[in-house]
Amino acid sequence: MALRYDAGEVITAMVTPFNSKREIDYNKAEELAKYLITHGTDAVLVAGTTGEGPTLTHEEEFELLSTVKRAVANKAKVIMNAGSNSTDTAVMAAKWAQKEEVDAILSVVPYYNKPSQKGMIEHFSAVAESTNLPVIIYNIPGRTGVNMLPQTVAELAEKHQNIVAIKQSFGDMDMVTEMKLACPEDFSILSGDDSLTLPMMSLGARGVVSVASHIFGSQIKSMIRNYKTGEFLPAVNMHKKLYPAFRKLFMAPNPIPVKAALAHKGLIEDYVRRPLVELTDAEKQDLFAVLDKINED
């Protein structure tokens, strides 16, 4: 059976480049988007957590989206973050994203107010009914404080044809199995953590919404393709090779380490917006030693 919606195998949750004044550097954003799609990225996610979406104004989001869409020029899909812990706000974001003609939206399980499973169903039903766009649910209990259960995912996927996938950022493999058993066959599961990509794919996941693809996009793409074509040993070996980077890129709150890594490669400047703070020099050296060793091997 064909997928309801195919966002690709490697979706990069793109960082938002800032200059020394912590203003968005749109030129760097355009350059970075172009770099990503030539290094394994199938779709670019704009203004997510990795893109420091909570600190962006609506005007900045509009300009950033326009910049990325222009940069990818139909060579990759563009997905917009449209999540909120307010259902009304999430609905408005979904409607805005549809007006801006993005390819899909990512909408997170409401955070902080900790809804019940019934509340999640009502929330995502309202989002799905407000737009014709494909909706990717984002389940990340470590940030939201609540976990969406597999049966809830299945109920939403059965009820709404435009709820097409879930970004699962939770290392419980039994939940992935339960989702595969409960959800329609054409519903996609995407790993929300780079280190979980291969384990989740072994249970039927489609691909990954990645942070490490900023640095190792081609290698991650190769890992996924090898696995899907039955070249399991090369896939496992690539997973093992990249695993230290997968872990080290989360040595501090995302996207602090990956921005430092991109600056180390000369692709952006190393600035984040408060309340986030940049890595110390010692932390950077620790990070770069891991990344440089992988590139040397």
Q: Which residues are the active-site residues?
A: 138, 167
Please list the residues that pair with 190 across neighbouring strands.
167, 207
Distances (CA, A) of 170 to 4, 82, 183, 191: 23, 20, 17, 9
SS3 state at 170: coil
Angle, CA of 282, 257 and 176, to the nearest 5°: 135
Sequential DSSP letters for 38-67: TTT-SEEEESSTTTTGGG--HHHHHHHHHH
- The DSSP 8-state label assigned to residue 21 in this structure reads T
**Listed residue (263, 293, 257, 261) closest to 277, CA to CA:** 257
What is the number of alpha carbons within 13 Å of residue 241 lying toward its C-beta? 17
Query: Rg of the chain's alpha carbons, rounded to an integer?
Result: 18
Question: Which residue pairs, CB below 8 angstroms and at least 24 apart, start in 287-291?
Answer: 287/248, 287/249, 287/251, 287/257, 287/260, 287/261, 288/260, 288/261, 288/264, 290/244, 290/245, 290/248, 291/215, 291/245, 291/248, 291/261, 291/264
Is the backbone peptide bond immediately before 275 cis, with ω within 30 degrees of 0?
A: yes
Helix (H) or strand (E) holding 225: helix 213-228
Enter the tokens of residue 91: 């609905």
